[in-house]
Amino acid sequence: MKKYNLNHLRELEAESIYVLREVAAQFERPALLFSGGKDSIILVHLSVKAFWPAKIPYPLVHIDTGHNFEETITFRDELCRKLEAQLIVGSVQESIDDGKVVEESGYNASRNLLQTTTLLDTIEKHKFDAAIGGGRRDEEKARAKERFFSHRDEFGQWDPKNQRPELWNIFNGKKIIGEHFRVFPISNWTEMDVWQYIYMENIDIPSLYYTHERDVFLRDGVWLYDAPFMTKKPDEKVERIRVRCRTIGDISCTGLTISMADSLEDIIQEIAATRITERGGRADDMRSEAAMEDRKKEGYF
Amino acid sequence: MMEEKEFSSKAYLDMELLRFTTAGSVDDGKSTLIGRLLYDSKSIFEDQLEAVKKASIKRGNESVDLSLLTDGLRAEREQGITIDVAYRYFATPKRKFIIADTPGHVQYTRNMVTGASTANAAIILIDARNGITEQSHRHTYIASLLQIPHIVVCVNKMDLVNYEEETYEKIKNDFQAFAAKLAVKDVRFVPISALKGDNVVEKSKNMPWYEGGTLMYILENIHISSDHNHIDARFPVQYVIRPQRDEFHDFRGYAGRVAGGTFKVGDKVMVLPSGFTTTVKSIISHTKEFEEAFPPMSVIISLEDDIDISRGDMIVKENNVPDIGQDIDIMMCWMSEKPMRLNGKYALKHTTADARCLIKDVKYKVNVNTLGKILDDKNIGLNEIARISLRTTKPLFYDSYRQNRKTGAIILIDEADNTTVGVGMIV
């Protein structure tokens, strides 16, 4: 008998594409949250596949902290141009200027938390009823309990103890006006799956993921980029070394990895050998044991 | 078929995906078992282990409590219990695994049902000292109700019964006698000690009488490609693709995921509910063209004739049509704290179709511990399982759940608050 099976990447791909089409079918104004990181790049790639030869039926939304790596912005603009995709930018700087949020100060100041307000404002302003995100269940323990279709109330809040049961591949996106959903099509992917898929599909990623020379300093065991707005403690010395990003987020909380990996093969080998999770370098998660859960309840990504 | 580029590291090429479920409480050694699978397959990272160690000390535990790895919510950690389904991931060079880890007590039946709905395999843990209990009955019943194709019975804590063969054989015989009454196809047994590591990943030296494979060997080698229905062709239309681009002006495709059987270019097909017949013109995904599509592929099918087709319709083969009807019996698990309303109306989702339904009758309720039928009680509350008769507002195109887990499954939604309140397997 003929063998009918898909490898694990094709099966995950089929599942994610199914979820993306459910979003397009069940919601009136969906949007894809694009950060410029590998997970959201995969979401864009899967979206192209889900609807081709039609265009992606939703805009890309970038919540810009103003503290992004330059390469991220260049990459974002180039991708949108190539796909003829609509880009909507929500600016954290504007939220600060409007007095909606107050900039944190001190050594560990980060705009990461402020993004939640800008994100919720952007969702409300454009009346988005579904925001597609690149969250994965293997990333963090609070994310391990997340649904594919995750309901948010009229304040954008997540109620982890009262989530809708999700069985088979039947997704319940019913809601009342003012509520919205966060949708996580790559819930079941691991970091390794993401890299293998990027390799298999030959997907373009920002150069930040490959080894490059950069001015960095060490804080609490994490290498951070010495961007102009970063406040250093007196004993923190800047060094120029070869690093790469394992995740890409706001500069203030993106830990860099010392690495010589300059190809996808190298990166895959590096991930296979590593003994630290990718969020191990995320200063935002180290604030407390339930840091992610607390942020998510308020409406974070 | 699909041409895949070769990885320079061969180890990650051609892995299959296996989803399995575990149910149990702390006493069963479930967390110890999962912890061992993750730890021995090097899927626990140093920073995770460090965080768990810290949290264990903070709680005053003497040893590292691996359940803290999966119990992700603050309330779960505070109360020391698993409330929700937690998904964990690990991989060996052969397979990638997704564990749906669920609590085992009767008040979490709905979580077990949720975890079981997508699983290829279920691990049933039995304490060698206690033998088969009410809990083992319940877990096995749920696995059979949700039609999990493979069941692996782990007789755990063998170290506490001196690794005796007779103890294991007795449990095995008892279980087989009980499982014969249920619709379980493939049952395997393995004597283990999750704590000591016997027969989990490494073969045990303490049980030379056991000639089978370790749990990991079984998980890596269960044959899963025939778990899907490859006979009855079913393609629920999910989304209609009509590009507004000049170069694809005339293209009209039907996006969906193959729910059963296979579809080939040139196949004669029928579209439900209209009943029109036509031929498959092409099967594509992005720039790739396929000769044949099978479950669980997501593809776009285009047809030779221009037929009015929309979401919720189903493409099938003319000589193999699903059941079509509005009066449907289901085995239902109630998922909500608000009790079921007999003669109440609910919204219903089935494949990509939406409808409404009326709950007409409760045929019987199942005592999930004894598996006895309760005939004189029509009140259905949270976690209860019952056979229900429904009348839908429009015909559904369905198969029995036993024949097809995708076209035989439905969910019920409370129209007042939009929550999912019931899930059903069509009889």
Residue B27 DSSP code: G
Q: Cα–Cα distance between B331 and B364 in angstroms, integer?
A: 10
Q: Is residue A259 part of a domain?
A: yes
Exposed/middle/buried for B412, CB within 10 Å: 0-12, 13-18, 19+?
Answer: buried
Which pLDDT score is estimated for A222?
87
Contact of A91 with chain B, judged by CB distance below 8 Å, is answered with: no
Looking at the fold, whether A80 and A137 belong to one and the same domain comes out as yes
Which pLDDT score is estimated for B9?
47
Comparing A8-17, A155-164, A182-191, which segment has the lowest mean pLDDT? A155-164
Residues B396/B251, Cβ–Cβ less than 8 Å: no
Nearest chain A alpha carbon to B92: A272
Nearest chain B alpha carbon to A282: B47
Domain that holds residue A54: 8-193+289-298
Which residue, B166, B205, B172, B174, is CA-closest to B189?
B172
Strands B345-350 and B409-413: antiparallel
Q: In chain A, which residue ranges form alpha helices assigned H by DSSP?
A: 8-26, 38-51, 70-83, 92-97, 115-125, 191-201, 264-273, 291-298
Looking at the fold, whether A72 and A214 belong to one and the same domain comes out as no
> The domain that contains A161 carries what CATH number?
3.40.50.620
Could you tell me the CA-to-CA distances from B23 to A229, B77, B90, B142 in Å, in that order?
50, 18, 18, 10
Residues of A within 8 A of B91 (CB-CB) are 190, 192
Q: Is residue A2 part of a domain?
A: no
- Give yes or no for residue B79 having a pLDDT over 70: no
Are the beta carbons of A144 and B238 separated by less than 8 Å?
no
Q: Is residue A233 part of a domain?
A: yes
b/e for B138-169, b at 16 or more Cβ within 10 A? bbbbbbbbbbbbbbbbbbbbbbebebeeebbe
- Give yes or no for residue B130 having a pLDDT over 60: yes
Does the CA dihedral A198-A53-A187-B216 come out positive or negative? negative
Task: Nearest by CB to B72, from A6, A144, A196: name it.
Answer: A144
Comparing A8-12, B37-41, B60-64, B297-301, which segment has the lowest mean pLDDT? B60-64
Looking at the fold, whether A56 and A150 belong to one and the same domain comes out as yes
Task: Nearest by CB to B248, from A53, A169, A199: name it.
Answer: A53
Q: Cα–Cα distance between A229 and A103 in angstroms, integer?
A: 12
Are the beta carbons of A14 and B297 separated by less than 8 Å?
yes
Looking at the fold, whether A217 and A137 belong to one and the same domain comes out as no
Strands A130-132 and A30-33: parallel
Task: Nearest by CB to A293, from B15, B74, B242: name it.
Answer: B74
Q: Is residue A200 part of a domain?
A: no
Which pLDDT score is estimated for B6?
39
Looking at the fold, whether A229 and A111 belong to one and the same domain comes out as no
Which pLDDT score is estimated for B196?
87
| B42 vs A238: which has the higher pLDDT | A238
Which pLDDT score is estimated for B93?
82
Q: Is residue A109 part of a domain?
A: yes
Element (H, E) at A212: strand A212-219
Q: Cα–Cα distance between B149 and B119 in angstroms, integer?
A: 8
Looking at the fold, whether A223 and A179 belong to one and the same domain comes out as no
Q: Cα–Cα distance between A58 and A85 in angstroms, integer?
A: 8
Are the beta carbons of A14 and B245 separated by less than 8 Å?
no
Looking at the fold, whether A96 and A224 belong to one and the same domain comes out as no
Exposed/middle/buried for B223, CB within 10 Å: 0-12, 13-18, 19+?
Answer: exposed
**Percent of chain A clearing pLDDT 90 (strictly above):** 58
Q: Cα–Cα distance between A250 and A119 in angstroms, integer?
A: 14
Looking at the fold, whether A82 and A171 belong to one and the same domain comes out as yes
Could you tell me the CA-to-CA distances from A156 to A61, A148, B223, B235, B359 in Å, in that order?
17, 16, 44, 35, 34
Domains of chain B in sequence order? 12-221 (3.40.50.300), 234-317 (2.40.30.10), 323-426 (2.40.30.10)
- Give yes or no for residue B11 having a pLDDT over 60: no
Task: Nearest by CB to B4, from A25, A200, A276: name it.
Answer: A200
Looking at the fold, whether A215 and A164 belong to one and the same domain comes out as no
Q: Could you read off the pLDDT of B138-162 as tens digits, one per residue?
A: 999 999 999 999 999 999 999 999 9
Are the beta carbons of A193 and B335 separated by less than 8 Å?
no
Query: B18 vs chain A: nearest CA distance in angstroms?
Result: 9
Structural domains counted in chain A:
2
Please state the three-class secondary structure of A8-26 as a single string. HHHHHHHHHHHHHHHHHHH
Q: Could you read off the pLDDT of A260-284 as tens digits, one per residue?
A: 999 999 998 888 877 666 666 555 5
Q: Cα–Cα distance between B422 and B348 in angstroms, integer?
A: 9
Looking at the fold, whether A21 and A39 belong to one and the same domain comes out as yes
Q: Is residue A51 part of a domain?
A: yes
Alpha carbons within 13 A on the beta-carbon side of A36:
28
Q: Is residue A139 part of a domain?
A: yes
Residues B423/B401, Cβ–Cβ less than 8 Å: no
Which pLDDT score is estimated for B78?
61
At residue A65 the predicted structure's pLDDT band, cuts being 50, 70 and 90, is: confident
What token pair was written down for B20?
């399995």
- Give yes or no for residue B283 having a pLDDT over 60: yes
Looking at the fold, whether A211 and A147 belong to one and the same domain comes out as no
Query: B312 vs chain A: nearest CA distance in angstroms?
Result: 11
Q: Could you read off the pLDDT of B327-367 as tens digits, one per residue?
A: 999 999 999 999 999 999 999 999 999 999 999 999 999 99
Looking at the fold, whether A168 and A26 belong to one and the same domain comes out as yes
Comparing A142-151, B120-129, B155-164, B215-224, which segment has the lowest mean pLDDT? A142-151
Q: Would you call A248 helix, strand, or coil by DSSP?
A: coil
Residues of A within 8 A of B83 (CB-CB) are 161
Q: Cα–Cα distance between B305 and B323 in angstroms, integer?
A: 25
Q: How many CB atoms lie within 10 A of CB A114?
A: 22
Which pLDDT score is estimated for A138?
85
Q: Is residue A57 part of a domain?
A: yes
